């Protein structure tokens, strides 16, 4: 059993309230959960309007599948989120 863990740090300069931020976070996490059957949640910077930190985790049978899944998720976030990706961390445990 292998655990694939990813963290995305995003910046959304047009966001001016936590309500706007929650809408972006909710949309992205639900899309990730539905498409890839992974766990996804906001994991840091909850009180900062324009910074979003999303954590994604999945259990996969082997490292090759973890690499493939993380690549697909990276592309998905890039294509489906208006926020700018500041940082992306991949980890296999």
| Domain ranges across the chain | 2-92
User: What predicted TM-score, i.e. pTM, was given to this entire model?
Assistant: 0.88
Neighbouring residues of 41: CB distance < 8 A, sequence distance ≥ 6: 29, 54, 55
Q: Are 10 and 87 in contact (CB under 8 A)?
A: no
In terms of Cα–Cα distance, which of 48, 35, 20 is closest to 76? Answer: 35
Q: Right CATH number for 2-92 from 3.30.1330.60, 3.30.70.1120, 3.40.50.1100, 3.40.50.2300?
A: 3.30.70.1120
pLDDT, tens digit, 9 for 90 and up, residues 3-39: 999 999 999 999 899 899 999 999 999 999 999 999 9
């Amino acid at each position: 059993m292998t655990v694939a863990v990813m963290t995305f740090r995003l910046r959304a300069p047009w966001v001016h309230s936590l309500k706007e931020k929650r809408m972006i976070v909710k949309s992205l996490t639900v899309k990730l959960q539905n498409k890839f059957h992974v766990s996804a949640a906001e994991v840091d910077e909850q009180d900062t309007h324009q910074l979003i930190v999303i954590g994604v985790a999945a259990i996969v049978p082997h490292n090759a599948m973890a690499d493939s899944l993380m690549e697909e998720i990276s592309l998905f976030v890039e294509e489906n989120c208006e926020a700018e990706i500041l940082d992306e961390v991949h980890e296999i445990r």
